[in-house]
Chains A and B, each alone.
Chain A
Amino acid sequence: MRKKNWKSGILHIFLLAFAVVQIYPLFWLLTFSLKDNVEIFGGNIAGLPHKWKIENYENAIGEAKVLSYFFNSVLVTGLTIIIVIIFSATAAYAIQRMIWKGRQAVMKIILLGLMIPIHAALLPLFMILKSLHLLNSYFALIIPYTAFGLPMAVYIIASFLASIPRELEEAAAIDGCGTIRIFGSVIFPLVKPALATVAIFTYISSWNELMFAVTFVSKQQYKTLTVGIMSMVGAYTTKWGQIGAGLVIATIPTIIIYLLLSDQVQKSLVEGAVKG
C-alpha cells in the first residue's frame, strides 16, 4: 500500500508541474500588465510587481482605445452567435425532421464546408466584400464568421434532433400548430443544450479570429480585439505594461465564461472536435 501512495505522489507532482507550465505564462502576463518599464527592464521580470501600476489599464483603455475594440468584438461575436443559432437550427430542422427529397445530399454539401480551410476563401472574399463596399464594416466579419460557423452548428443540432422523440411534434400538430409554430414552441426549447454547444463554439472561434479580421478591417472604428491589439502592439512596442493590460482585457471575458461554465465549455469543444 505504501508503495502505491509513493507512486501516485509522483504522478501528482508530474501533473501539477504541467499545470504550472500551462498556467504560469498567463499569470506572468497578469503580473507584467501591472508593472512599469522601470521594473520590467530593470531586472524584475519574473517576480510580482513591487508597485501595482493600474495606470497601464487606464492607458490601454484611454489612449489605446481597447474598450472600443472590446465593444466591437462583443457586437460582432454576439450577432454572429445569434445569427448562427437561428440559421443553423432552422436548417438542421429542415434537414433532420422535414420530409423532402435530397436531404442527405444537402447535408453532405453543408458538411463539405467543414473541410475547407478559410485560407482558400480569403482573397475571393476580400474581392467580394470590396465590390459590395462592405470592407471596414461589422458585416465584413459577421457574414464570414457566420458562414464558417454554420456547417458545424447544423451538424451538432441535427445530431441532437435525431435523439428527440417525434411524439411531441405530433401532439402539437394535433392541437393544430403549423410547421413554424411547432419549430418555434416545441423544438427550439428542446434543443437548448445543443444551442449552448453551438454558442460556445462560435464564441471561441469568432472572438479569437485573426486572419479575416486583419484583412477585412483596417479602420480604427471597426477593429475587433484581435486586430486592435495587433495595431496597439505596433504603436507601443516598448510599453510592455500597457500591452499586457490590453491582452488581459481581451482575455478576461473568455476566462470568466470559462470559469463559470468550465464543464460545459470543455464538453462543447470536445463535442465540436469529435463531430467535426
Chain B
Amino acid sequence: MNKILSNKKVICLFLFPTLLLTAVIIVIPIFISGYYSLLDWDGIGKGIFIGLDNYKELIKDGRFLNSIKNSLLFAAFSLFLQIPFSLLLAIIVANVKKGEKFYRTAYFIPVIISTVVIGQLWQKIYNGDYGLLNSLLGIAGLDNLQQDWLGQEKTALICSFIPILWQYVGYHMLIMYAGVKSLSTEIYEAARIDGASNTQIAFRITIPLLKPILKVCVTFSLIGALKVFDLIYVLTNGGPFFSTEVPSIYMYTTIFDSFNYGYGSAISIFIILECLVFTMLLNLFFRGKEV
C-alpha cells in the first residue's frame, strides 16, 4: 500500500499541472509586477530603471490618495453597515419558524449574478432622466429629491457603494446563518431556562460564539472593499472627476489608458501590500479578542 502511495512518477504527474499554473500565472507575475514597478515604461520600448521613484511619486499623488480614501470609506461602510445588518438578518432568519428557506434563497440571488449585470441595472436605477429611483421618488411626491445620482460628485460615491453593499448582504447573511445554525441548541435551552431574553441570547451567546465566522465575514468584506473593481468600472469608471475612483480603477486606467506601465504596477504592488497588512491586522485583532 505505502509503496503504491509513494510512487514518485504519479506524484509528479498529479502535481505538475497545478504547480505549473500556480507558478506561471500567480506567483511569477507578482515578482514581474514588482520589477515593472521600478521602471519608467510606456510598454513599447525598453523601460528605464528608476528605482523607487514611482513609489515616491505615489505618496505625493493627490489622485492616488483620494482613491485610497474612497476605498477606505467603502471598507468602513462594509464593516459598520453591511456586517451588522447581515448579522441581524442572519439571527432573525435562523429563528423564524416559517419561511426560512424562502428568505435565504431570496437574499442570496444578487450574490450569484454577474457584477456587469448588477452594474448596468443600477445605472438604470440611478439614471437622472428615466431612472427607477427618480420615478419612485416622483410617485412618492418627493420630486425635489430627484437628481442625476451618478452624474454629480456629491452623490456619486455613496451611490456607487450601495449596489455592492446590496449585492453582498445575502452572502454575509448566509455565512453567518450557517454559523448560527451550527451552534448547539442545548446552550439556548439552558439560557432560556435561566430566563434570558432574545436580545440577551443574541448578544451574550450567539455573537460571541460566532466569532470565527465573524472573522471570515469581516476579512472578506474588508479585503473585498480594498480590491473593489468590477462594479465601479461598470457604474462610473471612477468618474465624475475621479470622485468614485478606487486604487484598482486608478491602476487600470494608468496602465491601459495612459500606458504608464511602471506607475500602474507600483499601484498594483501597493494593493497587494495593503491587503496583506489588513489581513495581518485583522488576525491580530481577532487573536487579541480570543484571549
Interface centre among B5, B178, B255, B276 (most CB of A within 10 A): B5
Q: Contact at A14–B33, with CB atoms within 8 Å? A: no
Report the nearest B residue to A114, measured CB to CB: B26
A21 at the interface (CB under 8 A from B): yes
Instruction: Knowing A100-B8, A117-B271, say if A204 contacts B112 (CB, 8 Å).
Output: yes
B136 at the interface (CB under 8 A from A): yes
Q: Contact at B11–A123, with CB atoms within 8 Å? A: no
Q: Contact at A173–B22, with CB atoms within 8 Å? A: no
Across-interface contacts of A193 in B (CB, < 8 A): none
Report the nearest B residue to A233, measured CB to CB: B120
Q: Contact at B22–A110, with CB atoms within 8 Å? A: yes
Interface centre among B19, B93, B136 (most CB of A within 10 A): B19
Q: Mark A52-92, 1 if CB is under 8 A from B, else 0.
A: 00000000000000000000000000000000000110110
Contact of B279 among A115, A120, A127, A274 (CB under 8 A): A115
B196 at the interface (CB under 8 A from A): no
A1 at the interface (CB under 8 A from B): no
A251 at the interface (CB under 8 A from B): yes
Across-interface contacts of A12 in B (CB, < 8 A): 96, 98-99
A191 at the interface (CB under 8 A from B): no
Q: Contact at A123–B106, with CB atoms within 8 Å? A: no
Across-interface contacts of A266 in B (CB, < 8 A): 104-105, 108, 174
B121 at the interface (CB under 8 A from A): yes
Tally the A-B contacts, defined by beta carbons under 8 Å: 256
Instruction: Knowing A22-B110, A100-B8, say if A120 contacts B174 (CB, 8 Å).
Output: no
Q: Contact at A180–B30, with CB atoms within 8 Å? A: no
Contact of A117 among B89, B93, B98, B275 (CB under 8 A): B275
Across-interface contacts of B108 in A (CB, < 8 A): 258, 262, 265-266
Stretch of B62-70, B153-161, B187-195, B260-268 on the interface side: B260-268
Stretch of B48-56, B141-149, B229-237 on the interface side: B229-237
Interface residue total, chain B, C-beta cutoff 8 A? 92
* Least CB distance, A149 to chain B, in whole angstroms: 10
A interface SS class = helix
Q: Report the separation of the CA atoms of residues A124 and B261 in the bound assembly, to the nearest whole angstrom.
A: 10
B213 at the interface (CB under 8 A from A): yes
Across-interface contacts of B102 in A (CB, < 8 A): 19
A235 at the interface (CB under 8 A from B): no
Q: Report the separation of the CA atoms of residues A122 and B253 in the bound assembly, to the nearest whole angstrom.
A: 12
Q: Contact at B115–A210, with CB atoms within 8 Å? A: yes
Contact of A95 among B15, B93, B117, B269 (CB under 8 A): B15
Q: Report the separation of the CA atoms of residues A178 and B89 in the bound assembly, to the nearest whole angstrom.
A: 52
Q: Contact at B10–A15, with CB atoms within 8 Å? A: no
Across-interface contacts of A127 in B (CB, < 8 A): 32
A147 at the interface (CB under 8 A from B): yes
Q: Contact at B166–A21, with CB atoms within 8 Å? A: yes
Q: Report the separation of the CA atoms of residues A244 and B123 in the bound assembly, to the nearest whole angstrom.
A: 12
Across-interface contacts of B233 in A (CB, < 8 A): 210-211, 214
Report the nearest B residue to A179, measured CB to CB: B10
* Least CB distance, A32 to chain B, in whole angstroms: 7
* Least CB distance, A171 to chain B, in whole angstroms: 10
Q: Contact at B255–A273, with CB atoms within 8 Å? A: no
* Least CB distance, B256 to chain A, in whole angstroms: 7
Interface centre among A116, A147, A255 (most CB of B within 10 A): A147
Q: Tell me the residues in window 2-36 of chain A with beta carbons closer than 8 Å to chain B beta carbons.
A: 8, 11-12, 14-15, 18-19, 21-23, 25-26, 28-29, 32
* Least CB distance, A207 to chain B, in whole angstroms: 7
Q: Contact at A115–B268, with CB atoms within 8 Å? A: no
Given pairs A15-B99, A113-B27, A124-B32, 8 additional interface contacts (CB within 8 A)? A15-B103, A22-B109, A41-B129, A91-B14, A120-B30, A247-B117, A266-B104, A273-B216
Q: What are 18 residue pairs bridging A and B, where the CB atoms are less than 8 Å apart in the complex?
A: A8-B97, A15-B103, A23-B106, A26-B113, A28-B125, A46-B136, A87-B21, A93-B14, A94-B14, A98-B5, A117-B271, A123-B268, A124-B29, A151-B26, A173-B4, A179-B4, A208-B116, A211-B252
